Chain A
């Protein structure tokens, strides 16, 4: 398919002529078939083959046009979005303010106190926040979902912290995971009374190295097939 190089509205006359012969896409132009039928036929992968469609020039033109329409439909919104102005900042902060009122507290995690009358607790949400903060301080990692497996509402109950993360390209995953584990154990030890049975780290994605600042040659991502976890020597951190 050739890219139209002229942006003006004048049509290449040959194409216009070819189309005008069938331009209405009515059954008369389609050997008795309808656009509706042809769409269904296309959806079915042109199977089973229908000779009266396959043998009709009008239908072939319509099928090609429908296929083009389908292909463009897929990218339509992305194309439109690329010329859409950035959303208004007030609109964004309106959304963020509304959701801020619905904090995700989660379960209540008791905290002991010398005074038995005192009733202290942390929220599960704040503990997750601690885990994220500890993890975000590890170079090369971004923390994703985090869960506390086990009954955190019972003092002394062993808990497993499960953390999803993605790693920046070139990061040593074993090292980063070990550092993350250590940071989480230390942060939770300092701020909570949770008894940790384990800290599981799942690295699910590698993030492309950021390109700014150091103008190293393009495409650290192009140094193909480096084994995740093996620093690829292209230092950007």
Chain B
């Protein structure tokens, strides 16, 4: 067979998303691996922001990739595989939160400690991006989660309420408070 493993074509790592998603949907594991490496970090950051902690990030993103593999053949817009992956990981994260709730007292849930290294975060802020990142880490969990689902994931108030089991008026209030807190901190930083 004339097929040598060292192919003269461009490396798969350089390929565009549509090509990779197309190959992966045809069963090419190598192409899928490139997608995992290309978007794994972004998906982990996203999951961590929604989950509010590191605890389930590995599992949730792994589940998201497995789900993506199963459903890739039905993805029509191959070129938008990135936003499709992001949607999957958001949904998996929200599912995970819901599953946690079933095991924990709902009232306790609101008062988990903020996820990350708030004190250090303040010291080394170099850009507005980092200021937001740090401010977000200091938000109460419920505010942060609703804000991320709204502003990053693009969920509606109603959808967030449905997913998190909250009246949408509560969601609206939490997001308004989150915005107030975030702009206050960002404006102070500027």
Please list the residues of chain A having a beta carbon within 8 angstroms of any beta carbon in chain B. 3-4, 7, 9, 11-12, 15-16, 19, 23-25, 34-36, 39, 62, 65-66, 68-70, 72-73, 75-81, 84-87, 91-92, 94-96, 98-100, 102-104, 106, 125, 128-129, 132-146, 164-166, 168, 187, 204-205, 207-208, 210, 237
Contact = CB atoms under 8 A, between A and B. Distances in A.
Given A144-B22, A205-B18, A72 B129 contact: yes
Contacts of A146: 22, 26
19 contacts: A19-B188, A23-B184, A39-B175, A66-B183, A69-B179, A72-B186, A73-B151, A75-B129, A76-B132, A79-B127, A91-B62, A102-B69, A128-B27, A136-B3, A138-B8, A142-B14, A144-B78, A166-B16, A166-B19
A210 B11 contact: yes
Given A9-B123, A96-B36, A144-B19, A132 B69 contact: no
Contacts of A81: 41-42, 44-45
Contacts of A15: 187, 190
Given A25-B184, A91-B58, A142-B9, A205 B16 contact: yes
A95 to B, nearest CB: 5
Interface string B162-190: 00000000001101100110111011111
Nearest 4 CB-CB pairings of A with B: A145-B22, A104-B27, A144-B22, A144-B19
Q: Which of A66, A78, A99 has the most CB of B within 10 A?
A: A99
A38 to B, nearest CB: 9
B69 A99 contact: yes
Given A95-B62, A95-B66, A11 B189 contact: yes
B184 A72 contact: no
A133 B26 CA distance: 13
Contacts of B152: 73, 76-77
Chain B: interface secondary structure? helix
B103 interface: no
Nearest to B7: A136
Q: Which of B7, B44, B187 has the most CB of A within 10 A?
A: B187
Given A77-B46, A79-B130, A204-B18, A104 B26 contact: yes
A202 to B, nearest CB: 10
Q: Which of A4, A24, A36, A76 has the most CB of B within 10 A?
A: A76
Contacts of B122: 9
B113 interface: no
A122 to B, nearest CB: 13
B45 A142 contact: no
A125 B186 contact: no
A95 B36 contact: yes
A99 B8 contact: no
A237 B127 CA distance: 40
B28 interface: yes
A88 to B, nearest CB: 8
B66 to A, nearest CB: 6
B173 to A, nearest CB: 8
B36 A145 contact: no
A72 B136 CA distance: 12
Interface in B38-95: 40-42, 44-46, 49, 58, 62, 65-66, 69-70, 73, 78
B188 A92 contact: no
